[in-house]
């Protein structure tokens, strides 16, 4: 995948993704396929080759659905938009339960229905891929955020030729967010992770490193604190909300809520005391502010899921599957001059910070791109910092 090509796609698809994710109109009228896909109107005739006309794209949701305002929704919308733009058949499938067996059944249903390019979002699909890839060599599987460790945990030491996966340098996006909020003036921070899987840990450790760097630059390291905890799940509940209530009532000003729907617990607590949040994966300002009040979401640590889907499917249509076959590609910063082209970034279209400006952000990204600023991706231990970091036992 060439950087210039990716950069152009990133600029277009990231904007589309963020607008969609911030919408209050969820695609509730869409029906997932189980035994049979929903009937769709005939696709418009496209100027594609005969081989392209045989491509049928499916997407399988993980434990959530296409209205989760995160991984599933972004992946669904990007896949659907690409299929429509290229006159290709598309359907999504929702497993009957959260299990490898159910995800495998959904995959088998999609293949039985004739779908031969399957897009799957998240580490939960490692087990499914291990079960189905070798026995379905004609089906290409595009996995988002499934790491080498996830595959090895499922018994896959080498990716089959019909599988590719993309991971992201979450520590860079987390660093940007932590740096930004301290520069903006927040001193009492919190990190609420979902499950302590590598992607979430990288976000968290990057957030801590960014906050530490900004505090040191400002000469206020002794004044900046971070509370740090994992909820043990990717959704909010009463126990997690109670912990967030305690944090906010004891002075926490802003919480990076990192893990699917777990932001709901932080949001419920924040709105009681005029607290703030940092969103994750996509620009969550529209969602969070819509639920908990204008300005609650200060920024979001994002990664380019939609751009990855679009670029990879474009290669599939162009006959360039070999560029990704059997590979795990780790995506991060590809431009030091235009942050919007990167696969990890902060949203500038909904920028609300005053002390830390867009120009400041661009300068930070340039420093990260040229190596002046480095971020440790190690997740074996909490980074050493001058600021105070207090870790808590998992809530669940």
pLDDT in tens, 92-103: 999 999 999 999
β-pairing, 388-391 with 276-281? unpaired
Angle at 42 between CA 40 and CA 44, to 5 degrees: 130
CATH classification code of 170-303+344-391: 3.40.50.2300
For the chain, what percent of residues have pLDDT higher than 90?
82
Q: Is it true that 3-168+305-331 and 170-303+344-391 share their CATH fold?
A: yes
Is residue 310 over pLDDT 50? yes
Q: Tell the residue number behind the tokens 């049928």, with chain if given.
A: 56
Tell me the mean pLDDT in the region 236-261.
96
Q: How far is CA 185 from CA 41, 100, 180, 253, 379, in A?
A: 52, 45, 9, 10, 27
- What is the tens place of the pLDDT at every residue in 152-209? 999 999 999 999 999 999 999 999 999 999 999 999 999 999 999 999 999 999 999 9
Q: Is 168 helix (H, G, I), strand (E, B) or coil?
A: strand
- 356 Cβ contact partners less than 8 Å away, ≥ 6 residues apart: 180, 181, 183, 184
Task: Calculate the CA 328 to chain-centre distance.
Answer: 16
The ranges assigned to domains in the chain are 3-168+305-331, 170-303+344-391
Q: Is 91 helix (H, G, I), strand (E, B) or coil?
A: strand
* pTM higher than 0.85: no
Class of domain 3-168+305-331: alpha beta
Q: What is the chain's alpha carbon radius of gyration, rounded to the nearest angstrom?
A: 21
Helix 305-317 and helix 3-21: axis angle, to 10°?
130
- Lowest average pLDDT, out of 15-24, 31-40, 163-172, 234-243, goes to 15-24
- Give the pLDDT band (50/70/90) at residue 51: low
What is the model's pLDDT at position 318?
A: 96
What is the model's pLDDT at position 42?
A: 40
């Amino acid at each position: 995948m060439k950087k210039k090509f990716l950069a152009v796609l990133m600029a277009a698809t990231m904007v589309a993704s963020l607008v969609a994710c911030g919408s209050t109109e969820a695609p509730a009228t869409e029906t997932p396929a189980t035994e049979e896909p929903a009937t769709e109107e005939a696709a418009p005739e496209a100027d594609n080759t005969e081989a392209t006309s045989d491509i049928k794209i499916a997407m399988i949701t993980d434990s959530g659905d296409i209205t989760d305002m995160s991984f599933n929704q972004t992946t669904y919308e990007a896949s659907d938009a690409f299929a429509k733009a290229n006159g290709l058949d598309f359907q999504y499938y929702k497993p009957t339960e959260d299990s490898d067996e159910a995800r495998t059944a959904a995959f088998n249903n999609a293949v039985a229905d004739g779908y031969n390019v399957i897009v799957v979002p998240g580490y939960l699909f490692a087990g499914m891929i291990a079960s189905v890839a070798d026995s379905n060599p004609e089906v290409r599987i595009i996995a988002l955020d499934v790491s080498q460790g996830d595959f090895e945990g499922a018994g896959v030491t080498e990716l089959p030729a019909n599988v590719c996966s993309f991971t992201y340098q979450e520590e860079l996006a987390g660093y940007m967010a932590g740096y930004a909020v301290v520069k903006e003036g927040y001193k009492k921070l919190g990190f609420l992770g979902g499950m302590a899987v590598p992607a979430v840990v990288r976000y968290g450790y990057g957030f801590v490193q960014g906050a530490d760097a900004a505090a040191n630059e400002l000469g206020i390291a002794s004044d900046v604190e971070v509370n740090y905890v994992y909820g043990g799940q990717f959704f909010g509940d009463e126990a997690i909300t109670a912990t967030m209530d305690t944090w906010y009532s004891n002075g926490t000003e802003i919480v990076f809520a990192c893990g699917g729907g777990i932001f709901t617990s932080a949001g419920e607590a924040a709105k009681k005391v005029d607290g703030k949040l940092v969103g994750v994966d996509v620009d969550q300002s529209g969602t969070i502010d819509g639920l908990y009040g204008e300005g609650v979401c200060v920024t979001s640590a994002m990664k380019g899921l939609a751009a990855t889907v679009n670029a990879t499917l474009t290669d599939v249509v162009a006959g360039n599957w070999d560029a990704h076959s059997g590979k795990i590609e780790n995506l991060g910063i590809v431009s030091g001059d235009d942050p919007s082209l990167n696969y990890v970034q902060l949203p500038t279209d909904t920028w609300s910070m005053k002390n830390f400006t867009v120009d400041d952000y661009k300068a930070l990204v340039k420093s990260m791109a040229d190596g002046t600023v480095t971020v440790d991706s190690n997740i074996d231990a909490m980074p050493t910092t001058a600021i105070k970091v207090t870790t808590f036992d998992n809530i669940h």
